[in-house]
Amino acid sequence: MTLDETPPAATSKITLFVCGDVMTGRGIDQILAQPSDPAIHERSMLSAVGYVDIAEQKSGRIPRAVEPAYIWGDALDELQRVQPEARIINLETAVTRSDDWIGKGINYRMNPANVACLSAARIDCCALANNHVLDWGAAGLRETLDTLHAAGLKTAGAGKTRSEAEAPAELAVGGGRRILVFSLGAESSGVPPQWAATDRRPGVNFLADLSEQTVARISGRVRAIKQPGDIAVASLHWGSNWGYEIALDEAHFAHQLIERAGIDLVHGHSSHHAKAIEVFQGKLILYGCGDFINDYEGIAGYEAFRGDIGLMYFPTLEAATGRLLGLELVATQIMRFRVQRAVDADARWLCSMLDREGGRFGTSTELMPASRIALRWTAQLADVRVPHI
């Protein structure tokens, strides 16, 4: 049986939902029931309402004071259909009323009173090691953590101390099994080094480099916690916003997380568009999941990358080993600040891009009905040397 063939029915398996950046601040926050003060501190925009105006110029009237579930749109139907055992997102906004904004050009925040928009999709875990969680200072981070935890959401990658930031989120999935989510943020994605959590300072789980020493440190943390039957996810905010390039050191780092650290799924994000997918030694590597929810609708620039098109990722893993049994993707598009199922032409475009970028890794796609996409792959048991393209 090859790696992409259907396993025997008796095989115990776990299906997850993961996606890229979920940014519910700024313009998105303004259409929710209890928006923040719209004042922002950008060179070309002084009010978050301006981003709603831009989107409306492109797509038409967007309702205000929407229900919490509004922004998820068609994604809720797909989640209901698949019924994943765990739902993991990269939450790329602070959830705070803090006015202690950091002068970094772009700052995202959502009013804590709107946190139900995350609960509406029954999100289990928010990865927070990214370049926006501290946009409103240490006070904003503390309130973000307190708000998410009070809403029943697990977090990883940020904390009030280094030990909290480095600790994984532990998600129980039945049968005594756990999903362990380790979240790390790299400077290459815009995470300032000074945001690294210390014993006395809140911050993020900072990924200082991709060296062998870093792999060894991560391996020590994972193996100290991971037990037989656990699935370990490394949620990495890394790389630039635009471009399909995957550097040799990035591919090698992902491979080493699997080989040495016991990671079963590499969940990469930061790029505003989807990137290549690899299956290495039977384990899934998502180099960049792209944006999933944001307020960028109508903003010009980088149209060739089709950042308006997103993906829902539904990997099914062998419960005992974390080996990938199958990956279903659902093509989506943001329209009026709401996720909708992508049209067939856009789903075909995504397949073409994924085939082109994944070809060097031995992955390809098959377009299914309803803008659903199946991943196909060939076995790769060696650390493939991927050229920097």
Is it the case that residue 165 has pLDDT exceeding 60? yes
Residue-wise pLDDT for 209-261, tens only, equals 999 999 999 999 999 999 999 999 999 999 999 999 999 999 999 999 999 99
Tell me the pLDDT band of 380, cut-offs 50, 70 and 90.
low
Nearest CA to 28 out of 130, 132, 138, 153 is that of 132
pLDDT at site 14: 97
Label residue 175 by pLDDT band (50, 70, 90).
confident
Output the pLDDT for position 379.
74
The DSSP output letter for 360 is G
Exposure string of 3-29, with b = 16+ CB inside 10 Å and e = fewer, is bbeeeeeeeeebbbbbbbbbbbbbbbb
Q: What is the pLDDT of residue 229?
A: 94
Q: Is the pLDDT of residue 268 over 60?
A: yes
Which pLDDT score, from 0 to 100, does residue 207 have? 98
- In this prediction, residue 385 carries a pLDDT of 46
The tokens of 310 are what?
A: 């997103």
- pLDDT tier, 353 (very low <50, low <70, confident <90, very high otherwise): very high
pLDDT of 103-130, one tens digit each?
Answer: 999 999 999 999 999 999 999 999 999 9
pLDDT of 8 above 70: no
Q: Tell me: the pLDDT tens digits for 364-375?
A: 999 999 999 999
Q: Residue 199, exposed/middle/buried by CB under 10 A (0-12, 13-18, 19+)?
A: exposed
Helix axes 248-259, 212-225, angle to 10 degrees: 30
Domains assigned to the chain = 13-377 (3.60.21.10)
Q: What's the CA gap between 39 and 54, in Å, rounded?
A: 16
Q: How many CB atoms lie within 10 A of CB 113?
A: 15
Mean of all residue pLDDT scores within the chain: 94
Find, among 287, 193, 197, the residue nearest to 235 by Cα.
287
CA 110 and chain centroid, separation: 18
Reduce the DSSP state of residue 231 to 3 states and report it: strand
Three-class SS state of 382: coil
Question: Is the four-CA dihedral 50, 51, 56, 61 of positive or negative sign?
Answer: negative
Torsion over CA: 316, 79, 292, 99 (sign): negative
Q: If you average pLDDT over residues 42-69, what whole number do you get?
A: 98
pLDDT at 311 over 60: yes
Neighbours of 322 (CB within 10 A): 24
Higher local confidence (pLDDT), 286 or 380: 286
Residue 78 near residue 328 (C-beta atoms within 8 A): no
